[in-house]
Amino acid sequence: MGNSMFNAICLGGAIAFGTALSAQDAAAQVKPAQTIRIAPADANPMLQRVASIFERQLRKRCDARFITEGDADFTLELAITPGPGRQGFEISNAPGGVRITGGDGLGLLYGVGKFLRSGRYDRGGFMPGAWRGIDAPEKEFRAIYFATHFHNFYHDAPVEEIEQYVEELALWGYNAVIVWFDMHHFNGFADPEAQKMVKRLRSILGAAKRVGMGVGLTLLANEGYANSPAELRITPPTQIKIRGMYGVELCPSKPGAKEVVLHNFEAVFGAFSDIGLDYLSIWPYDQGGCGCAKCRPWGCNGFLMMAQPVAELGKRMFPGIRIVLSTWLFDPVENEGEWEGLARAFEKRPEWVDYILADSHTTFPSYLLKNPAPGGLPLVNFPEISMWGMGPWGGYGANPLPQRFQALWDSAGCKLSGGFPYSEGIFEDINKAVYSQFYWRSGKKASETLREYASYEYSPDAADDVLRMIEILEKNHTRPSQDSGSQAAFDLAQKVDAGLTRQARTAWRWRILYLRALLDREHYARPDQKSDEARKALAELVEIYHAQNAEPPVRPPL
């Protein structure tokens, strides 16, 4: 393949869309439905689960009642047949309502998500949307990564809340959840704290599996527990200011270290054997790596010495598991030859790797804009949707960054088979929606997703104002000295607030956006002090995030 192909800028929509035949049919109901019936009520567990997810979403949004006998104003038929294809769906008219057919369980869930988002809930009942047609995802890899640390939302929220959140992300098209059992927090696998974490991670991954999603673990190739053998530990890699390091990782060039790492991973993987892992994502850095002479350059040397046996262990324990080899923070400042070295090592496509992960805190790695992926392997990204430009992360409420992500996607999206955004909490819910739709259909603009999100979560009538408000919030995201209209954004927030239903107005997805506008306004009006109003807003964010015990990086700064 010539280089010119890799120099090409990705143009949204340049990739063929395939099977979608979206027909905007004007069959929308004029009168809101007060009673709803879901059919057929057969015992297929996946149909039952999707039906209950639909019911829960509707109950949260309007006062329509669900009935099982007699005539309903609206009937929803759910079915799973191979027709719409893998993870695809069809929404069509049916007697007394609508029929949603999934090509499989996930496809059905995506169809229900699309149907829910096209409806409206603000006219005293449920008004089904007019979208009819067939759709299926373009990118195969559409995961979300939950960081479960620092007592953030995923670490401390009641597990049921996280389980429901997993379902809600599936409605947007995500098809896998990935977590990290971060060893350095614990003194070995038997540490009661380690066992507590295993339990929580099992709940989260179990919830994902129940709705048909895949699950996976991330790990550092040379990860170690807090009490790892001191004589086997690493030599700190260079550039540690940008590459995090705990110092308890093990050096695979020291005799015996590899065996300790593999032994540790065998126990961790075993804790998920009944759930079944679908992905292992093996990381070089941040934290991790070793800077000793035998391991350098880590990314194409020591890292591979360790990553390959870890991958093979995973493949032995979970046949069919897919290995995602991360290149995070390869050659971050000066060229250490990691990218070129990996390309040389993978001249023949390696059998133990299925995907290459590439991304960074700021922009997509320039190496891949000019060169093919090592080994010709499919690429996935790891968008940083949580931490960029706001500290504490989510500390001032929602952090929508649609323009930033549109630009990043335009630069690299066409090279990708999907990806998994890095999430520290629920404050980046809008960013998750944006990426879910990039993966679903690469030409779909962030602004289109924003409109869909705002119509669904707030009200179709509020969408224009919400989009204008988000445009200002993004300009003020890093709190530059020049205010780009914080008062105007807050005015819009108040206008929208006044028009919402009770359900939408009090839902966390609106509160965190409203509070962000309020806190920006307070910041620019009184830069050096916290008003009572600001303090109240921060306290409410703490409640919403369950951040009472959160550490400073993820705790609203009360």
Strands 89-94 and 97-102: antiparallel
Residue 263 three-state SS? helix
Nearer to Zn ion, 156 or 286 (CB): 286
Can you tell me the distance from the alpha carbon of 553 to that of 555, in angstroms, rounded to the nearest whole number?
A: 6
Rounded least distance, CB 220 to Zn ion, Å: 13
Residue 247 binding Zn ion, by CB under 5 A: no
One DSSP character per residue, 388-414 reads TT-SSTTTTS----HHHHHHHHHHHGG
Distances in Å between the alpha carbon of 331 and those of 103, 358, 360, 388, 471? 43, 12, 11, 20, 34
CB 412 within 8 A of CB 139: no
Kindly report whether the peptide bond that precedes residue 40 is cis, defined as omega within 30 degrees of 0: yes
Among 295, 357, 398, 412, binds Zn ion (CB under 5 A): 295
Binding segment (CB under 5 A) for Zn ion, from list 65-73, 75-83, 293-301, 307-315:
293-301
Residue 251 binding Zn ion, by CB under 5 A: yes
Q: What is the residue whose two structure tokens read 């929208």?
A: 496
CB 338 within 8 A of CB 298: yes
Nearer to Zn ion, 183 or 550 (CB): 183
Rounded least distance, CB 231 to Zn ion, Å: 13
Rounded least distance, CB 443 to Zn ion, Å: 45
Strand partners, 94: 97
Residue 292 binding Zn ion, by CB under 5 A: yes
Rounded least distance, CB 253 to Zn ion, Å: 4
Residue 476 binding Zn ion, by CB under 5 A: no
Instruction: Find the angle CA(137)-CA(46)-CA(354) to the nearest 5 degrees.
Output: 45
Which amino acid appears at position 140 of this protein? Answer: E
Nearer to Zn ion, 251 or 493 (CB): 251
One DSSP character per residue, 114-146 reads HHHHHSB-SSSSBB---EEEEE--S-SEEEEEE
Over the window 193 to 232, marking each residue x when it contacts Zn ion by CB under 5 A and - when it does not, the resulting string is: ----------------------------------------
Rounded least distance, CB 251 to Zn ion, Å: 3
Binding segment (CB under 5 A) for Zn ion, from list 195-203, 221-229, 246-254, 309-317:
246-254
Nearer to Zn ion, 179 or 234 (CB): 234
Rounded least distance, CB 239 to Zn ion, Å: 16
Nearer to Zn ion, 232 or 518 (CB): 232
Nearer to Zn ion, 37 or 258 (CB): 258
DSSP H helices, 346-481, are 366-370, 402-412, 429-440, 446-457, 463-475
Compute how many residues bind Zn ion; rule: CB under 5 A: 5
Can you tell me the distance from the alpha carbon of 525 to that of 537, in angstroms, rounded to the nearest whole number?
A: 15
User: Among residue numbers 450 through 469, which ones bind Zn ion (CB under 5 A)?
Assistant: none
Rounded least distance, CB 295 to Zn ion, Å: 3
Residue 154 three-state SS? helix
Among 204, 290, 305, 519, binds Zn ion (CB under 5 A): 290
Can you give the binding site for Zn ion, defined by CB under 5 A?
251, 253, 290, 292, 295
